[in-house]
Amino acid sequence: MTLIGLGTVGLGVWALLDDDRILILTEVGDSGSFDVVSLIRTGALVLIASGGVAVLIGFLGCCGAVKENNCLLFAYCVVMVVILFVQIAAVVIAAIFQSKVTEDLKAFLKSRLSAQYDGDVKTGDPFSLGLDVAQLQFECCGIDNYMDFLSATRWQDKKNTSDIIPLTCCKFTNKESFYKDVNSLNMDDTSCQTSPSDENSNFRKGCWNAILEYANDKAIYVIAIGVAIGVVEVLCVVVAVCLIQAVRKSDEEESQ
C-alpha cells in the first residue's frame, strides 16, 4: 500500500511539474470551454493527496504490525475497508453514467465540429488542431464519418469548392511529418480531397469509433491493474485481521 501511494504521489508531482506537456495538451483541447491547465493541475494535486493518504495508511499498518498494536491495526482495517467500498461505489457509478456521458460528449464534439472546425492544417484554433491530430493519429475522418463536415460552416467557407473532405482525412506515407513540417506531408493520392475513396482516404471511418476501439483495446490493462490493486488491498485487510487475532491471543496467554 505504501509503494502504491508513493507511486501515485510521484505521478502527481510529475504531472504538476511537466509544464511543457501540459501546454501541449492545451493546444489539442477545447480551451474555449475548459481550462485544461487548471484541470490537469487539479488532477495532479488530487493524485498527490490520494497518494499521501495511501502512504499514511500503509505507514499506519506497518506501525501496527511492528508494535503489535491492535488499535493501529484495527484503524488500518477500517480505513482499508472504507477505501474498498468507495472504489466499488465509484466503479458502479461510472458504469451507470457511462452511456449518458459518452452520448453527451459525442453530441458536444459534433456541435464543436460544425461551429468551429476550419480545416487549416496551420490553424491556431485548438479544436481544429485537436481534430486534425486525431484524424491523422487514428486514421479516421470526422466524428461519425466525412458527412459531419457538410455542416462545418467555417471549413465550408474556406475550402476549395471541389473538396469533399479535409486534408487530414487523407492517407499519408509520412503522417508523422505533421508534427514537424506540415508542408512535407506526402499523400498517397493527390486527388484524395476531391475524390475520396477507401484506398486514398479514411473518409468512411469515424474518429469516435476509432478512438473507442483503441480505448477498449487498452482497457484490459487498466482493469488488470485495478483488480491487482483491489486484491492487494483485500490481502492487506486479511493480514491485518490475522495479526489482530494473533496479538489478542498473545495478550490472553500472557495474562494467564
- pLDDT(207) > 80: yes
What is the mean predicted confidence (pLDDT) over 103-113?
A: 88
Residues 61 and 166 in one domain: no
The predicted structure's pLDDT at residue 20? 44
Task: Say if residues 56 and 154 touch (Cβ distance below 8 Å).
Answer: no
| Backbone dihedral angles phi then psi of residue 201, each to the nearest 5 degrees | -150, 175
Residues 55 and 102 in one domain: no
Residues 240 and 141 in one domain: yes
Give, in degrees to the nearest 5, the angle at Cα 120 between 119 and 122: 145
Q: Is 82 inside any structural domain?
A: no
Q: Is 48 inside any structural domain?
A: yes
Which tops the pLDDT comparison, 17 or 96?
A: 96
Residues 130 and 246 in one domain: yes
Query: How much is the pTM?
Result: 0.58
Q: Is 79 inside any structural domain?
A: no
Q: Is 125 inside any structural domain?
A: yes
Residues 111 and 181 in one domain: yes
Residues 101 and 192 in one domain: yes
| Average model confidence (pLDDT) across the chain | 74
Sequence-distant (≥ 6) Cβ neighbours of residue 154 within 8 angstroms: 115, 116, 117, 118, 119
Residues 59 and 99 in one domain: no
Residues 101 and 57 in one domain: no
User: Is residue 211 very low, low, confident or very high in pLDDT (cuts 50, 70, 90)?
Assistant: confident
Sequence-distant (≥ 6) Cβ neighbours of residue 12 within 8 angstroms: 44, 45, 46, 47, 48, 49, 51
Residues 147 and 206 in one domain: yes
Closest to 148 in 3D by CA, of 123, 113, 106: 113
Task: Say if residues 60 and 1 touch (Cβ distance below 8 Å).
Answer: no
Residues 104 and 218 in one domain: yes
Question: Considering the chain, what percentage of its residues have pLDDT values greater than 90?
Answer: 23
Q: Is 231 inside any structural domain?
A: yes
Range of the domain at 227: 93-255
Residues 51 and 114 in one domain: no
| Backbone dihedral angles phi then psi of residue 170, each to the nearest 5 degrees | -80, 165
Tens digit of each residue's pLDDT (9 = 90 or more) over 146-186: 999 999 999 999 888 899 999 999 999 888 878 777 777 88
Closest to 51 in 3D by CA, of 78, 89, 77, 12: 12
User: Is residue 121 very low, low, confident or very high in pLDDT (cuts 50, 70, 90)?
Assistant: confident
Overall domain count for the chain: 2
The predicted structure's pLDDT at residue 31? 41
Residues 142 and 246 in one domain: yes
Angle between helices 207-255 and 70-116 (to 10 degrees): 170
Q: Is 73 inside any structural domain?
A: no
Tens digit of each residue's pLDDT (9 = 90 or more) over 28-66: 444 444 444 454 555 555 555 655 666 666 666 666 666
Look at the block and give the residue holding cell 480505448.
215
Cell output for 246: 494473533
**3-state SS, residue 201:** strand
Q: Is 34 inside any structural domain?
A: yes
Q: Is 80 inside any structural domain?
A: no
